[in-house]
Structure 1
Amino acid sequence: MDLEFQRVLLKVQESLTGDEVQDLVFLCSDLLSLKDLCTVSSAGQLFSLLEKRNQLSCEDPSLLLELLRIMKQNSLIRNLTSDDYKQTNGTTYSQQISPYRQLLYERSESICEQDLQNIKFLLLKTLSRKKLEKDTPSALTLLSPDQCQNLDSNSVIENKSLNLSVTSQNTEIQQYEMKGDRRGFGLIINNYDFRACTLGNREGTDIDKERLEVVFKWLGFEVLVEQDCNRHQILQVLRNLAARDHTPADCVVCCVLSHGRVEGICGVDGEIVTFRELIETLSPNECPSLCKKPKLFFIQACRGNDNQPAAFPQTCSEDEDMLFSDAAVPRDSIPEMADYLLAMSTVPHYVSYREKGRGTWFIQSLCHSLQLLVPRGIDLLSILTQVNSDVSKKTDKSGLRKQMPQPEFTLTKRVVFPPPKSHRPLP
């Protein structure tokens, strides 16, 4: 047993409050049995359980650092890595805490007292009255293992809590209505062939296009696909969409897969359509039947003529794992109009990536997250937060290439797609 490491654990234990210990227990609920967790009353007991199961040790303290990072104990992390335990320097975080449990923890931070009372009300038939009447300072305390000894932690926390946190927020933030005769049109502009200009063909984009078609049809959209559009054709396709009657529809979706530069999207002729031009085609003046309805844009734009930073080297082998760069968009890209979402594959001035045999990181993560989280009743912005998390963890074989998507929006309500009637798994 490493005494120095035990001293580190003792310092962490002394630095955490009782509520923070309960947060640790909640985050570790997938790693230890419910029976063991019900006996935990201190951080030291939790660390001992993790050490006994070889999930925490002086040779691999990454779980400790991951837990402190999720809890935003940054000063404590700096203390440990700089003063107390040199061996943690340079440790790479291995993701042992599930994304869903992290998401629930982050949501709990913003749950107010009224929300907590709403959650208690919704759990009347799940937990005993005695437990519900206890003074519970947070939603995580309410659903922690010591409060749910007779419940299965996965079914209660991961399946129900997501829906409960969404339901509780309905008291403050309204949802767009999704009860129309049809969900709406889903337009996909897929630009692959750039032989008419100096830009290269976008290998792998058809994989994105096909996945988007399947997922948005599954969500109830009438999908329209336009292939290889120049600047004029992109604008005309959107004008044609604006000319349709959207009165019976709930919303509209537009996905653009193309090369791009900082100022906008490239047509296959190399000419730019600015982001403002792109989305103003569906403004209330141009399309009154979409007024006060969500207009959702998903942009996968390649890098165009921008130079890559030194951290993103160009040289790759010519195989299916080869990465191609897809670029950034400006911060002022969304106009001052309500009910827009512009979900972009990367932050301004940086590249995003496309694999010839697998499609782009952003679109594939978006489709996967929609398929996984829509049936759970999760709103679109929360889904995009999960996409941000997924994409930010991806890298190439060199470990040097990274990407961070960025949603911008002027939505005035929450976008929650009704769960599809068919729950058959998507291909």
Structure 2
Amino acid sequence: MDEEMDMDMCFQRALLRVQESLSADELQDLLFLCSDLLCSRDLNTVSSGRQLFTLLQNQDLLSLEDPSLLIELLSITKRTRLMRSLQSDACMQTSGTADQPLQQQQRISRYRQFLYELSESICDQDLKNIKFLLMKTLSRKKLEQNLTLLQLFLEMEKEDLLGENNLDVLQRIFADIYPALGRKINQYKEENLNGVFIAQETEGISSIADLPSAQTSLSSVEMIDREMDEITLNENASGFSGDNSQHSDSVNSGIISESSEMPQIENSMVEQYEMKGERRGVCLIINNYDFSACGWLNREGTDIDHDSLRDVFEWLGFEILTRRDCTGDQILQALMDLSTQDHTQADCVVCCILSHGRLNDIIGVDGKAVPFKELMETLSPFRCSSLYQKPKLFFIQACRGTQNQRAVFPQTFTEDEDVLASDAGVPRDSIPEMADYLMAMSTVPWYASYRDKSKGTWFIQSLCDNLRLLVPRGNDLLSILTKVNADVSKKSDKSGLKKQMPQPEFSLTRTVVFPPPGLP
């Protein structure tokens, strides 16, 4: 009896540790995922993880003998470390459930998980746009509240605007605001519905038309359509901010048809660079390690970055060229050699430079400085006509000074920018010489960037991780770099005082969206 009490107490302590690790937003995520398992009246009273776990235990959905629901929730919300900690708990191992395959214990519906995945791709500005489109459909009082997207989904479900077999309204909204997600909804419908509804725990197959939840209010849909026709959602296509407002797939915006072909909409706000060439292009990686000739420190760990870049850009379809331990002149020569190639059948070109640096220069292994401007000019259309109107992408891992960025308290800045105009005429078919460039720097001017000798640099490793994660989701390159900014900004040294902030600078005239590997 005492042993059983000890195990129960151990389990409760494990639950307490989980709830103490959950943020308020993460708790709301769990409540949304559990909304099919618990009644809304009970969920509305929950303000802590402890209360949620008590509700689940009272409904026999969570226990020492079967903690699989909580493990599944932590897995869906990507709290992997917390999930593993829960699984490895001594009392859990004794219960014999920790090793059970998770897929055999799934209780959160694929529909609920899918909505959660959609919410992870939406920024604050997108949420405001969605609320605006729903202003005449849902209660204005509710919309003016600080509703999260998941809470908004629940409100749409109450009004029969959203359901497991009723995704049309959501698809039409997302197709206009974030076309990639509009197509993702269409793909979900084709894969999970395909004209029929198949319940997991039943044998019957019913037509979608026969299901009550499939009947959406026509007046509500028409009202939303009118709102979409009347407004233009202006996105900042020339700035760069952390709200992830520059989304990909603008060329293919619009309502997704039920056929497998995606309609091409000609009046999209921001076009994409074409990625339909016979080859993706060349990725040149300049990897400088040995600086013994000029007295600079060797760059321990740079080979880890090189291997990560080689793997991810090869995965994206690029031809990889590597140059190691280049002097200043050799760095320029490698780029000039690249400019002499014929890139007519290529979509773009990439240059990654891993080296020491100064404010506006890259340092060769001989100590010679090469200005960033000279690097870029080697690939200008005047020197390489086959790269005309094609993206030229530079990723620079180098310090730009010796100062250390300090950790600071969160602050909010308001920035008013004047728009400058020129009355000078510009030939209609011409482009500026330095158009179509991206220079993604590992740090802002005057500051150092950091390199882990055993794991590589913060910037390059985050770049490679996010390319692998977000390219298959249809995110454009600037959105991916925004995520890189966010990830690197959260890192610090062991003291917690030294920080790093990457800085992309660009003159791109369209969005860069790499086709997911495996697709034409």
**TM exceeds 0.5?**
yes
Instruction: Check the 8 A contact 2:342/2:386 in 1, yes or no.
Output: yes
2:470 corresponds in structure 1 to 373
* In 2, Cα distance between equivalents of 1:163 and 1:279: 36
SS class of match (1:415): coil
Q: Structure 2: which amino acid aligns with 1:266? A: I
Q: Quick one: which of 188, 199, 210 aligns to 2:307?
A: 210
Q: Name the CA shift for 1:176/1:143 in 2 (closer, same or farther; >3 Å).
A: farther
Q: Name the CA shift for 1:49/1:201 in 2 (closer, same or farther; >3 Å).
A: closer
2:153 corresponds in structure 1 to 144
1:290 corresponds in structure 2 to 387
Q: Name the CA shift for 1:201/1:46 in 2 (closer, same or farther; >3 Å).
A: farther
Q: Structure 2: which amino acid aligns with 1:251? A: C
Instruction: Check the 8 A contact 2:467/2:480 in 1, yes or no.
Output: yes
1:246 corresponds in structure 2 to 343
* In 1, Cα distance between equivalents of 2:459 and 2:479: 15
* Stretch moving more, 32-41 or 278-287: 32-41
Q: Name the CA shift for 1:286/1:168 in 2 (closer, same or farther; >3 Å).
A: closer
Query: Greater relative contact order: 1 or 2 (C-alpha under 8 angstroms, separation 6 or more)?
Result: 1
* In 1, Cα distance between equivalents of 2:454 and 2:286: 20
* In 2, Cα distance between equivalents of 1:37 and 1:173: 42
Residue 106 (structure 1) aligned with residue 124 (structure 2): yes
- Give the drift of 1:308: 3.1
* In 2, Cα distance between equivalents of 1:181 and 1:346: 34
Instruction: Check the 8 A contact 1:27/1:101 in 2, yes or no.
Output: no
SS class of match (2:329): helix
Q: Write out per-residue CA displacement over residues 145-197 of structure 1, whole angstroms, 9 at most, x where no aligned residue.
A: 343453799xx999946957644674211000000000000000000010110
Aligned residues between the structures: 315
Q: Quick one: which of 469, 479, 490 aligns to 1:393?
A: 490
2:29 corresponds in structure 1 to 29
Q: Percent identity?
A: 53
Q: Name the CA shift for 1:310/1:226 in 2 (closer, same or farther; >3 Å).
A: closer
Instruction: Check the 8 A contact 1:299/1:345 in 2, yes or no.
Output: yes
SS class of match (1:256): strand
- Give the drift of 1:99: 11
Q: Structure 2: which amino acid aligns with 1:308? A: Q
Instruction: Check the 8 A contact 2:27/2:49 in 1, yes or no.
Output: no
Residue 308 (structure 1) aligned with residue 322 (structure 2): no
Q: What TM-score, normalized to structure 1?
A: 0.64
2:51 corresponds in structure 1 to 52
Instruction: Check the 8 A contact 2:442/2:503 in 1, yes or no.
Output: yes
Q: Write out per-residue CA displacement over residues 321-364 of structure 1, whole angstroms, 9 at most, x where no aligned residue.
A: xxxxxxxxxxxxxx972100000101111111001000000000
1:76 corresponds in structure 2 to none
- Give the drift of 1:302: 3.2
Instruction: Check the 8 A contact 1:26/1:144 in 2, yes or no.
Output: no
Instruction: Check the 8 A contact 2:29/2:150 in 1, yes or no.
Output: no
Structure 1: 5+ residue runs without aligned partners? 1-23, 56-97, 118-132, 313-334, 423-427
SS class of match (1:202): coil
- Give the drift of 1:396: 1.9
* In 1, Cα distance between equivalents of 2:503 and 2:274: 25
Q: Name the CA shift for 1:49/1:203 in 2 (closer, same or farther; >3 Å).
A: closer
Q: Quick one: which of 471, 488, 501 aligns to 1:404?
A: 501
Instruction: Check the 8 A contact 1:104/1:162 in 2, yes or no.
Output: no
Q: Structure 1: which amino acid aligns with 2:35? A: K
- Give the drift of 1:400: 1.2
Instruction: Check the 8 A contact 1:108/1:140 in 2, yes or no.
Output: no
Instruction: Check the 8 A contact 1:292/1:339 in 2, yes or no.
Output: yes
Structure 2: 5+ residue runs without aligned partners? 1-23, 55-115, 186-246, 254-267, 408-431
SS class of match (1:395): coil
Q: Structure 2: which amino acid aligns with 1:52? A: Q
1:271 corresponds in structure 2 to 368
- Give the drift of 1:211: 0.7
SS class of match (1:369): helix
Q: What TM-score, normalized to structure 2?
A: 0.53
- Give the drift of 1:310: 8.5
SS class of match (1:383): helix
- Give the drift of 1:416: 0.3
Describe how 1:67-216 pairs up with structure 2 within 5 A.
101=119, 103-109=121-127, 111=129, 134-135=137-138, 140=149, 144-146=153-155, 147=157, 148-150=162-164, 160=181, 166-167=248-249, 170=253, 171-216=268-313
* In 2, Cα distance between equivalents of 1:152 and 1:211: 42
1:346 corresponds in structure 2 to 443
Q: Name the CA shift for 1:180/1:168 in 2 (closer, same or farther; >3 Å).
A: closer
SS class of match (1:372): helix
Q: Structure 1: which amino acid aligns with 2:331? A: I
* In 1, Cα distance between equivalents of 2:126 and 2:50: 28
Instruction: Check the 8 A contact 2:272/2:513 in 1, yes or no.
Output: yes
* In 1, Cα distance between equivalents of 2:343 and 2:433: 22
* In 2, Cα distance between equivalents of 1:253 and 1:286: 16
Q: Name the CA shift for 1:391/1:310 in 2 (closer, same or farther; >3 Å).
A: closer
* In 1, Cα distance between equivalents of 2:437 and 2:451: 26
Q: Name the CA shift for 1:167/1:213 in 2 (closer, same or farther; >3 Å).
A: closer
Q: Structure 2: which amino acid aligns with 1:53? A: L
- Give the drift of 1:198: 1.8
Instruction: Check the 8 A contact 1:26/1:145 in 2, yes or no.
Output: no
Q: Write out per-residue CA displacement over residues 105-156 of structure 1, whole angstroms, 9 at most, x where no aligned residue.
A: 3351574799x69xxxxxxxxxxxxxxx945988948961343453799xx9
Q: Write out per-residue CA displacement over residues 50-96 of structure 1, whole angstroms, 9 at most, x where no aligned residue.
A: 562379xxxxxxxxxxxxxxxxxxxxxxxxxxxxxxxxxxxxxxxxx
- Give the drift of 1:33: 3.0
Structure having the higher Rg = 2
